[in-house]
Amino acid sequence: MSAVGGTALDADAARAWVRRFAELVQESAVELTDLDRPIGDSDHGVNLRRGAVAVLAALDGPDAPATAADVLRAAGTTLVSTVGGASGPLYGTALRRVGKALVGVDAAGGPELARALRAGVDAVVRLGGAEVGDATMVDALLPAVEALEREVAAGTALPEAVGAAVRAAQEGAESTDALVARKGRASYLGERSAGHRDPGAVSSVLLLRALADALGGPA
């Protein structure tokens, strides 16, 4: 069972987060692939679903990871090993970095969680080289972690702080509608990429929403 009322991210909450992300991805797989069709190669949902199935399998079984850090590192490693494409290494490395930042932390409160998420998002930026405005998942992830940092600094309770991060992610994803992509496959289309929402930004909203759901109480 998860930690009481979402005051911190412990091993159970981490498991719930990853599980919920896998669920949301499976529910939205067709939508994500459809978003990837006009500006990409029609596989984002297919890729993430493959990863979601593998992650769920990795969470169970005899060698199931025991700490929040291990849960997230295992999930990340599984994504890297099964998703492929651009999103596999990016999401996979991000979760590994989040996990790494939580090593030794039994139950991460707001500051620890914000620091861990920042480490994950930094990894995405470092690997992919994208900035806000390039029409990628960074457009959702970076505003989300900034919102979380802001709210945590302001002393907002964790569930509410994460709620703000979800909203920031959602707004960031919406902002990609108008953008001409500069990274990812959409960039190959030049001006034609404008007018489409970035699929990776949308799946990033799911990642944040899954965290909010996990912290909102027992899954």
Residue 60 or 192 with smaller CB distance to another protein: 192
State how far the Cα of 50 lies from the Cα of 54, in Å rounded to an integer: 6
Give the shortest CB-219-to-ligand ADP separation in angstroms: 26
Tokens of 190: 């030049």
Give the shortest CB-120-to-ligand ADP separation in angstroms: 13
State how far the Cα of 135 lies from the Cα of 191, in Å rounded to an integer: 12
**Residue 128 binds to ligand ADP (criterion: CB under 6 A):** yes
45, 99 Cβ separation under 8 angstroms: no
Out of 18, 20, 29, 43, which residue is the one contacting Mg ion (CB under 5 A)?
43
59, 18 Cβ separation under 8 angstroms: yes
* 9, β-bridge pairs: 108
Residue 65 or 76 with smaller CB distance to ligand ADP: 76
Residues 39-58 within binding reach of ligand ADP (CB under 6 A): 40-41, 43-44, 47
State how far the Cα of 33 lies from the Cα of 50, in Å rounded to an integer: 12
Out of 138, 142, 173, 179, which residue is the one contacting ligand ADP (CB under 6 A)?
138
In 3D space, the residue among 121, 113, 154 whose CA is nearest the CA of residue 7 turns out to be 113
**Residue 86 binds to ligand ADP (criterion: CB under 6 A):** yes
Residue 112 or 134 with smaller CB distance to another protein: 134
Q: Shortest Cβ contact with ligand ADP: which residue?
A: 200
* 108, β-bridge pairs: 9
Q: Is 10 helix (H, G, I), strand (E, B) or coil?
A: coil
Residue 41 or 131 with smaller CB distance to Mg ion: 41
Compute the C-alpha angle 190/49/16, nearest 5°: 120
Q: Which residues bind ligand ADP (CB under 6 A)?
A: 36, 40-41, 43-44, 47, 85-87, 90, 124, 128-130, 136-138, 183-185, 198-201
Q: Which residues bind Mg ion (CB under 5 A)?
A: 36, 40-41, 43-44, 85
